[in-house]
Structure 1
Amino acid sequence: MELDTPLPNTTVSQVLCCVCGVLTDVNPSNMCPNCIKAHVDITEGFIKEYILVYCPECGRYLQPPKYWTKADLESRELLTICLKKIRGLQKYKLVDASFLWTEAHSKHLKVKLVLQQEVFANTVIQQACQVDFVVQWKQCELCAKAATGQDQWDAVVQVRQRVQHRRTFLFLEQMILKHRMNDKVIQIGGHKDGLDFFFNHRSHALQFVDFVGIHAPTLRRDAMQLVSHDSKSNTAVQHHTFSLELSPLCREDLVVLPHKLHTQMGGVGPFVLVQKIYNSTVFLDPQSLRVSELLGTLYWKNPFESYATSRQLVEFFVNDIRPTGVVNGKMMQAEAEVCLADEIGTGREWCVTTHLGHQLKPGDLAKGYLVDTLN
């Protein structure tokens, strides 16, 4: 036996619009959508005129209170600056924002906004409005300093590495470009042992100092110079200097560990190779394939230099290679018979232990250190 279940009543009540008399769904205003749009203005009390400060010397716009940002005309960055200046925008739902065309020399910018707001229960109105920005020219602090002949920088980071080849310094330059740490640098000065990086603010220099300290063992020294002081307004102009000295040890250098350090590392070495450089130095003992790490802070307590650098590497010819079976990660220990590349067949040969057993084959050319000729 089947019973017919009555369907619920889904009919929406309708009333006549109190303004135009059109039949519409029931709502708190008792008006049709067209009359609501005509009589309700959600942008009432919305400030639609603002001032935008622009530096004509460097082409940057002011972001209150004191930050200046580079932005092209009608660019995304400039639109962001304009939207941040509009007060009360958080009360609305921003649907769209775009620039309206204006003459480039008019010093006026027009932004079209599409906003949504709920005016009654379950009644949302979407309206478009125009916000005008008057561009006022004003020199930024840097351009004002340049016009009066004052120094434009507040902090400088002096990076030095006192070795001839400076491989660690070249690696650091690549990391600076890769991570865009040079974006806040306003000037770079050359020096025979390194570079000077100038910054507008001390905080930017400190960020750069921390970045360098992550990628290389550094010895840091700070200094401050008082340039001028105004006792009436209690303000002062100071120059901050951060001196960073990089460790002279570079990757692939041959190092003779001091006796005390050799003992503390559990007998590693004393002849070791520099395998890796970051805020610590990683040493590799090619005789035993043991790896040891020396923190930068411990190194600078008792610094030492390389016994030989990668520029003193000599080319050898591999006559024979015999693996010993000792493996550490990607490294394999082997005994190799080698001779100088320009002395093949003369009978002058050496039997050495190498950590490149997985790469070398008889007949290959490899570079190594000829200790007999090193001073």
Structure 2
Amino acid sequence: MEHSHAGGGGTDPSAPGPAPRQWPQQTIGHVLCCLCGINIQPNPANMCVNCLKTQVDITEGIQRQVTVLYCDGCGRYLQPPKHWVTAALESKELLTFCIKRTKGLNRIKLVDASFIWTEPHSKRLKVKLTIQKDIFNGAILQHTFVVEYVVTNHMCDVCTKQAANPNQWVASVQVRQKVDHKRTFFFLEQLIIKHDAQANCVNIKNSNAGMDFMFGNRSHAIKFIDFLQNVVPTKHRSDKSLVSHDTKNNTYNYKYTFAVEIALVCKDDLVILPKKLNTQLGNLGPIVLCTRVTNCVLLTNPQTLQDHYLDAEQYWRWQLKSLMNSRQLTEFVVLDVDVDWRRTTHGGRCTYADVMVARAKDYGVNDNVFHTRTHLGNLLQPGDTVLGYDVLNANLVDPNLDSYPPHLLMDVVLVRKSYTEQRQRRRQRRGKRRNFKLRRLEAEEEEEVVRKNRSRNNEVDPEKEMEEFMDELEEDSDMRSRINLYKAATGQTPSVTETDEEDEVPKVPLEELLDDMTLGADVDMAGGDERPTRDGA
């Protein structure tokens, strides 16, 4: 046989190669269910799903109806044996509580859980659970079912004592500040509401110099004191009195009283430093201005823009007092401003400036003019009104004044820009409506006789002090960032950066306000037009 070879015996590369091998397509076989005989795909049990459900009940041993105890007074659920938890309807906390209260779920795998909507007043909670379980021969069966929770009213121990006798408290925290204004307590009240620190209070009372918080447990009072120490400079002492003694069981019942004192120095107060402390702080003073109060006191020298944080331990060691407070502020008119933009601190909030001012009552009457240095250079313009301390004409009594020569003491210390005239024009045009409101604690007022004595001794009306506090919130963004402000129904839609057309009165931006949806049982509203109920806004 003859063979012809082209090109020396090689194969033609253009010739098509052999066809790829085609593997046979695999098919999944079917088997008959061993019980009903229908075609099914093979599984370890060789049963269809319906037959598996009839033969095996994976929900066996799981409660389908559970009773939970709910205290209508404080809105908490009982987690046996004695723990009460707070959870809102259809919340993650309530779902976790319901799953923990269901017996039998520890033996299976929980895949999914969700609430089924029920009427809020039906006293029924329904949860849809999806579970999986390994049955015989390694087969996994999944099933979905509904568990019903019956809510039964049951008062907790704290609410029981309060209902029987409101004075049945175990621990009392008496918060006091020996100053002649309530600005600190207004701000402290907002901090308490924001962090829900009053949740365990049995009762709250207003007193002449502060507030009293009653608790049904000593540990709750200690927790509240820890919260106060984290927000304001405080010191406290405690005492206890014996209520009863069981000689057979050798048990004692005490009532505990905690006296908490807040630092006397408040925001915008003028302070003169002791000479030794002034030396330790690097000659910060001698006269400084308190510009912020948290758990520390921020002292600022308006002449040099130097500042220092004084913690609670240092403050109580030196027992600092205010040389002048906000009740002694005087209005000045700005005549001339020379700003040094190179000297700026705190992100532009404080800017050094040389200012020429005159007392508002002397403006146009005489030629008394004061030259001073201030930290308000970024806010002041010629013609503005500013609030400050007239140190030169004030009658000051302080032993630390004799430690310094007179030339080191400033004649005028400017504190903040004044918008009094602009606010009066705005209120005449719009009334007292604001675009925000505050929540207030529901506290019992003191006795009528004591309240009348306080009103006679106190020259400032509490409502007027509250208005001044809300004005201060509009001006100070740092204070607003620490508390919650809520939208008020003013009948108008304020802009995000809204200011009045005729003036530049600060206004709370809409983006900083929260929607007022629901309220707790122990808060009230202030600063708005409406007065919501306990169930909602």
Q: Under TM normalisation by the shorter chain, which class is it?
A: 0.7 to 0.9
Q: Distance in 1 between matches of 2:66 and 2:250?
A: 33
Count of aligned residue pairs for this structure pair: 373
Matching residue of 1:370: 390
SS at match of 2:392: helix
Matching residue of 2:426: none
Residue identity opposite 1:89 in structure 2: L
Matching residue of 1:350: 370
Q: Which residue of the other structure, out of 109, 112, 115, is the alignment partner of 1:95?
A: 112
Matching residue of 1:188: 204
Residue identity opposite 1:194 in structure 2: G
SS at match of 2:337: strand
Q: Distance in 1 between matches of 2:373 and 2:75?
A: 62
1:246: how far off? Answer: 0.5
1:208: how far off? Answer: 1.8
Aligned: 1:335 with 2:354: yes
Matching residue of 2:181: 165
SS at match of 2:282: coil
Going from structure 1 to structure 2, the CA distance change for 1:80 and 1:221 (only over 3 Å counts) comes to same
Going from structure 1 to structure 2, the CA distance change for 1:118 and 1:338 (only over 3 Å counts) comes to same
Please show how residues 204-215 of structure 1 align to structure 2 within 5 Å: 204-215=220-231
Please show how residues 299-318 of structure 1 align to structure 2 within 5 Å: 299-318=315-334
Instruction: Choose 212-221 or 232-241, whichever is displaced more.
Output: 232-241
Going from structure 1 to structure 2, the CA distance change for 1:210 and 1:338 (only over 3 Å counts) comes to same
Cα deviation code 1:157-199 (max 9, x no counterpart): 2211110124333221111122222222221011111101122
Instruction: Choose 227-236 or 14-23, whichever is displaced more.
Output: 227-236
Instruction: Choose 75-84 or 304-313, whichever is displaced more.
Output: 75-84
1:2: how far off? Answer: 5.0
Aligned: 1:286 with 2:305: no
Contact kept, 8 Å, 1:97 with 1:114, in 2: the verdict is no
Q: Which residue of the other structure, out of 28, 41, 48, is the alignment partner of 1:25?
A: 41
Residue identity opposite 1:352 in structure 2: T
Going from structure 1 to structure 2, the CA distance change for 1:272 and 1:150 (only over 3 Å counts) comes to closer
Matching residue of 2:265: 249
Contact kept, 8 Å, 2:159 with 2:202, in 1: the verdict is no
Contact kept, 8 Å, 2:166 with 2:202, in 1: the verdict is no
1:99: how far off? Answer: 5.8
Cα deviation code 1:255-282 (max 9, x no counterpart): 1111111111111110110011111111
1:285: how far off? Answer: 0.7
- Structure 1 spans left out of the alignment, 5+ residues: none
Instruction: Choose 235-244 or 264-273, whichever is displaced more.
Output: 235-244
Q: Distance in 2 between matches of 1:281 and 1:101?
A: 51
State, as a whole percentage, how many aligned pairs show the same letter: 41
Matching residue of 1:226: 242
Aligned: 1:11 with 2:27: yes
Q: Distance in 2 between matches of 1:146 and 1:169?
A: 25
Q: Distance in 2 between matches of 1:201 and 1:23?
A: 67
Going from structure 1 to structure 2, the CA distance change for 1:181 and 1:26 (only over 3 Å counts) comes to same
Going from structure 1 to structure 2, the CA distance change for 1:234 and 1:347 (only over 3 Å counts) comes to same
Q: Which residue of the other structure, out of 271, 274, 299, is the alignment partner of 1:258?
A: 274
Residue identity opposite 1:335 in structure 2: D
Matching residue of 1:83: 99
SS at match of 1:373: coil
TM-score normalised per structure 2: 0.62
Going from structure 1 to structure 2, the CA distance change for 1:132 and 1:215 (only over 3 Å counts) comes to closer
Contact kept, 8 Å, 1:166 with 1:250, in 2: the verdict is no
SS at match of 1:208: helix
Going from structure 1 to structure 2, the CA distance change for 1:2 and 1:69 (only over 3 Å counts) comes to same
SS at match of 1:287: coil
Larger helix percent: 2
Q: Distance in 2 between matches of 1:324 and 1:55?
A: 62
Q: Distance in 1 between matches of 2:383 and 2:75?
A: 62
Going from structure 1 to structure 2, the CA distance change for 1:118 and 1:293 (only over 3 Å counts) comes to same
Going from structure 1 to structure 2, the CA distance change for 1:237 and 1:78 (only over 3 Å counts) comes to farther
1:243: how far off? Answer: 1.9
Residue identity opposite 2:103 in structure 1: R
Residue identity opposite 2:362 in structure 1: E
Aligned: 1:360 with 2:380: yes
Matching residue of 1:38: 54
Cα deviation code 1:225-271 (max 9, x no counterpart): 33233344454433332221110101111111111111111111101
Instruction: Choose 117-126 or 25-34, whichever is displaced more.
Output: 117-126
TM-score normalised per structure 1: 0.86
- Structure 2 spans left out of the alignment, 5+ residues: 1-16, 396-537
Instruction: Choose 189-198 or 39-48, whichever is displaced more.
Output: 39-48
SS at match of 1:226: strand
Larger strand percent: 1
Q: Distance in 2 between matches of 1:368 and 1:18?
A: 95
Q: Aligned-pair RMSD on alpha carbons?
A: 3.1
Matching residue of 2:80: 64
1:97: how far off? Answer: 4.7
Q: Distance in 2 between matches of 1:136 and 1:280?
A: 47
Q: Distance in 2 between matches of 1:153 and 1:3?
A: 94
Going from structure 1 to structure 2, the CA distance change for 1:374 and 1:366 (only over 3 Å counts) comes to same
Cα deviation code 1:82-108 (max 9, x no counterpart): 432112313232434546979x79x88
